[in-house]
């Protein structure tokens, strides 16, 4: 008589929906450009916690143990494209891109140095454009999400940081255009728009000296101080990262997504109020 245990089938317990989702995410590699600090770091932390394989591309590495790092400068040569190609060679399933790199400067339009505002656009806009172009061929195989971290400054100009606002407005339009082109391949594109956020970004801003700002010196100083207070008294990087991570995990995220209730209100107000009214409100915010 055969041993009944040999004929007995081992029944594996059914996996929950959460476990299945976690297993599916573990197969996907998410590229985060700029995960070494701030919003990018906090976003990488949350995606790792949700089971994704996260890869960082930046000049300095992300310190999270479970994040792989590739060194690249989004403004230098083709280092960004080479990093994406290397990631694709090692990862069978690139599931998405999150672009968090950014640069800001405080200076009058009249006296700003051309090399500075061109560098700003290289980081904020052209870097995002290049990242999309580099990752698109791989996402077209299976679909995925692309999230670009923009700013409420794309809607409400930041006083004496006009170039930053212009670059983020360009990012928002890039999202809209890329969405039209990539949607047939099941690639969703979303712009997340934080308002003032408390990160080290405030202290990395390039602020021109009084002598370089000439007759605008006092106004630049007031505007820069108001912006710094707005940022350091605003949302935490973790709160913004929650919005970014949630958007990335959605099957169909919105084109433009504001972080927090107040920013959603400001976005609606900008659409409803006359242009002069929003300009007046903005001038008051920056003590102009």
Q: Provide the number of structural domains found in the chain.
A: 1
Residue 146 lies in a domain: yes
Report pLDDT for 267. 85
pLDDT at 6 over 60: no
- 44 close to 111: Cβ distance less than 8 angstroms: no
pLDDT tens, residue by residue, 128-137: 999 999 999 9
Asked whether residue 13 is domain-assigned, the answer is no
The 10s digit of each residue's pLDDT in 27-74 is 799 999 999 999 999 999 999 999 999 999 999 999 999 999 999 999
DSSP the chain: ---HHHHPPP-PPPPPHHHHHHHHHHT-EEEEETTTSHHHHHHHHHHHHTT-EEEEEESS----TTEEEEE--TTSTTHHHHHHHHHHHH-S-EEEEEE-----EE--TTT--HHHHHHHHIIIIIHHHHHHHHHHHHHHHH-EEEEEE--GGGTSPPTT-HHHHHHHHHHHHHHHHHHHHHGGGTEEEEEEE--SEESTHHHHSEE--HHHHGGGHHHHHHHHHHHHHHHHTSEEHHHHHHHHHHHHHSSS--SEEESSHHHHHHHHHHHHS-HHHHHHHHHHHTT-
pLDDT of residue 276: 87
Domain assignment present for 148 = yes
In this predicted structure, the answer to whether residue 211 has a pLDDT above a threshold of 90 is: yes
**pLDDT per residue over 79-117, tens digit each?**
999 999 999 999 989 999 999 999 999 999 999 999 999
For residue 12, what pLDDT band results from cuts at 50, 70 and 90?
A: low
227 located within any domain: yes
Domain-embedded: residue 9 = no
- Give a yes or no: residue 210 inside a domain: yes
Res 24: pLDDT = 57
Question: Tokens 């040569």, residue?
Answer: 77
- pTM for the full predicted model: 0.89
Query: Domain span at residue 191?
Result: 25-285
Whether residue 15 is contained in a domain is answered as: no
Q: What's the CATH number where 154 sits?
A: 3.40.50.720
Domain presence at residue 11: no
């Amino acid at each position: 008589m055969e041993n009944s245990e040999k004929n007995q089938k081992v029944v594996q317990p059914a996996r929950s929906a959460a476990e299945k989702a976690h297993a599916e995410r573990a197969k996907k590699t998410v590229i985060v450009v700029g995960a070494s600090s701030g919003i990018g770091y906090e976003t990488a932390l949350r995606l790792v916690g949700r089971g994704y394989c996260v890869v960082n591309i930046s000049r300095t590495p992300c310190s999270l143990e479970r994040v792989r790092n590739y060194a690249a400068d989004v403004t230098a040569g083709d280092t960004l494209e080479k990093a994406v190609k290397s990631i694709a060679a090692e990862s069978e399933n690139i599931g998405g891109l999150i672009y968090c790199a950014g640069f800001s400067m405080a200076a009058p339009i009249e006296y700003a140095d051309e090399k500075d505002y061109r560098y700003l656009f290289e980081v904020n806009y052209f870097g995002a454009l290049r990242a999309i172009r580099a990752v698109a061929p791989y996402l077209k195989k299976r679909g995925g999400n692309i999230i670009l971290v923009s700013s409420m400054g794309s809607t409400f100009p930041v006083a004496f940081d006009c170039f930053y606002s212009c670059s983020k407005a360009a990012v928002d339009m890039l999202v809209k255009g890329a969405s039209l082109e990539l949607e047939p391949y099941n690639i969703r594109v979303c712009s997340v728009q934080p308002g003032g956020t408390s990160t080290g970004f405030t202290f990395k801003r390039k602020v021109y000296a009084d002598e370089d700002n000439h007759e605008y010196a006092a106004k630049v100083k007031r505007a820069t101080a108001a912006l710094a207070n707005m940022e350091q008294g605003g949302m935490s990087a973790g709160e913004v990262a929650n919005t970014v991570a949630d958007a990335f995990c959605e099957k169909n995220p919105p084109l433009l997504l504001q972080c927090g209730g107040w920013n959603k209100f400001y976005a609606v107000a900008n659409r409803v109020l006359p242009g002069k009214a929003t300009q007046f409100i903005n001038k008051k915010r920056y003590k102009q």
